[in-house]
Amino acid sequence: MVEGSANELDGDTIKVAQVVTDNCNSTISAGVLDDTVKPIISSEKHSLSLEVGASLFRFIKGKEGSTQKKIEEETGVKIVFPSSKKEESIVIEGISTDCVTRASEKIQAVMDEAIESSLDYSHFVSLPLAIHPELIDKLINFQNSILGNNDVSADENLESSDSIEDTSDIENKGQELIKGRDVAVELKVEDEKHVKVGLTSIPLVSYPPKSPRLPNASDFGIDKSIFIKPTTFHLTVIMLKLWNKERVNAASGVLKSISSKVIDASDNQPIFIRLKGLDTMRGSLSRARVLYAPVEEIGSEGRLLRACQVIINAFVEAGLVLEKDAKQKLKLHATVMNARHRKGKRRRKNDSFDARGIFKQFGSEDWGEYLICEAHLSQRFVLIETFWLNLYWPQILQTSVDLWE
């Protein structure tokens, strides 16, 4: 691991395209804003184009534009955001290079803070498992079994038909009462203060007791949205924050360049894994946040972990991994449920679900043995998983790079 590599790259995050005046052009690197940069004293307008990355715009703007306004007021500049969602650069306009430079430094500080904390991970390097159709089938059956999808439509039909029958029965009985029975009320007024009511006939109607409602998945905080989509099932090697095109292209280049090293780490032999049982990543079974299938390398030779470490080291050395992530120990696991993925009103910050029933039924599930033969650089938060680059081993079958358009 290269110390401070992530920070060094962050220093180059802002790419200064140009400082423009009516009479001269100059280029300034935001990573080296020091005494070598001489402000140009001029009454003319100066502008600075910064390649930031669209995912960071909201941090520079701040809540209701508060951060942007503060920087503009403190430095005397105007920050212009692009009108197109495809653009990744902002423009700083000011009356001098000094105020423009100071504004760019403040923007860099805001970005650094966001990258280290609030900015979500955008990409990840993974070992795909969805390439095995039999595993996808098992995951679909797993989800249907828990959600009761095979019985839901039948139950809904029964409830619907029962509801109709009950309604008609009540209406018929009601009409029978109206037609076939009379309710006689005899009023005997003895004086102004006492009224005696005599009921000579009251019809009694009895209904069968309702059977108790059986618990369903939603009672345990379980719905379809917290299941991992079977077609995107994978093992995560490293999480990445690639907030602009430059970093995405750099990541693609890294994965493409290490194919031979990965093959060497696996001794040029196929690697098989076994998925068996279930476990929780966070929380207890009663308040689980992540449920996953543990991974075991068949043969226990450690070749899979060595190959993964080659991948991790390469991204760390390229400055594409946050320092805190570089220090974490790799724990390969296949996530099957994640409460963070929940959609709808029920979602909350420390969301969880009750996995005790799932664990009782599937805690010893044998998911099977599978060949690991690809590494993907994938993008998060897309409807269909996008693979920027595929790396195949133990022999390279094909290497394709799909760059950000």
Q: How far is CA 245 from the centre of its chain?
A: 20
Domain 123-147+219-401: what homologous superfamily? Cyclic phosphodiesterase (3.90.1140.10)
With a cut of 70, list the residues of the chain below it in pLDDT: 1-43, 150-219, 345-349, 381-405
Q: How far is residue 232's CA from residue 234's CA, in Å, rounded to a whole number? A: 6
**pLDDT (0 to 100) of residue 106:** 97
Backbone angles phi, psi at 78, to 5 degrees: -125, 130
Tens-place pLDDT, residues 187-237 = 444 545 554 545 455 555 555 655 555 456 666 778 888 999 999 999 999
Q: How far is residue 375's CA from residue 398's CA, in Å, rounded to a whole number? A: 12
Task: Give the SS3 label for residue 161.
Answer: helix
**pLDDT (0 to 100) of residue 35:** 39
**pLDDT (0 to 100) of residue 151:** 40
Nearest to 109 by CA among 54, 56, 35, 48: 56
Tens-place pLDDT, residues 252-277 = 999 989 988 998 998 888 899 999 99
Q: How far is residue 349's CA from residue 328's CA, in Å, rounded to a whole number? A: 23
What is the DSSP secondary structure assignment for residue 120, as one 8-state letter?
P
**pLDDT (0 to 100) of residue 344:** 72
**pLDDT (0 to 100) of residue 45:** 83
Nearest to 335 by CA among 295, 388, 369: 295
DSSP string of 197-265, one letter each residue = EEE--------PPPPPPPP-GGGGT--GGGBPPGGG-EEEEEEE---SHHHHHHHHHHHHHTHHHHHHH
DSSP string of 313-349, one letter each residue = HHHHHTT-S-HHHHTSPP--EEEEEEGGG--STT--T
* Token reading at 83: 């009108």
**pLDDT (0 to 100) of residue 84:** 87
**pLDDT (0 to 100) of residue 19:** 38
Backbone angles phi, psi at 181, to 5 degrees: -125, 145
Nearest to 19 by CA among 61, 50, 52: 50
Torsion of CA 351, 355, 358, 362, to 10 degrees: 100
DSSP string of 25-80, one letter each residue = EE---GGG-STT------SS-EEEEEE--GGGHHHHH-GGGHHHHHHHHHHT-EEE
pTM above 0.85, yes or no: no
Q: How far is residue 61's CA from residue 74's CA, in Å, rounded to a whole number? A: 15
Per DSSP (E only), the strands in 259-302 are 271-276, 279-282, 290-297
Domain residue limits, the chain: 5-116, 123-147+219-401
**pLDDT (0 to 100) of residue 347:** 58
Strand partners, 292: 279, 335
**pLDDT (0 to 100) of residue 351:** 84
Q: How far is CA 174 from the centre of its chain?
A: 55
Selected from 3.40.50.720, 3.40.50.300, 3.50.50.60, 3.30.1370.10, the CATH number assigned to the domain covering 5-116 reads 3.30.1370.10
**pLDDT (0 to 100) of residue 12:** 42
Number of CB atoms found within 10 A of residue 364's CB:
10
Nearest to 162 by CA among 219, 208, 205: 208
**pLDDT (0 to 100) of residue 261:** 92
**pLDDT (0 to 100) of residue 48:** 93
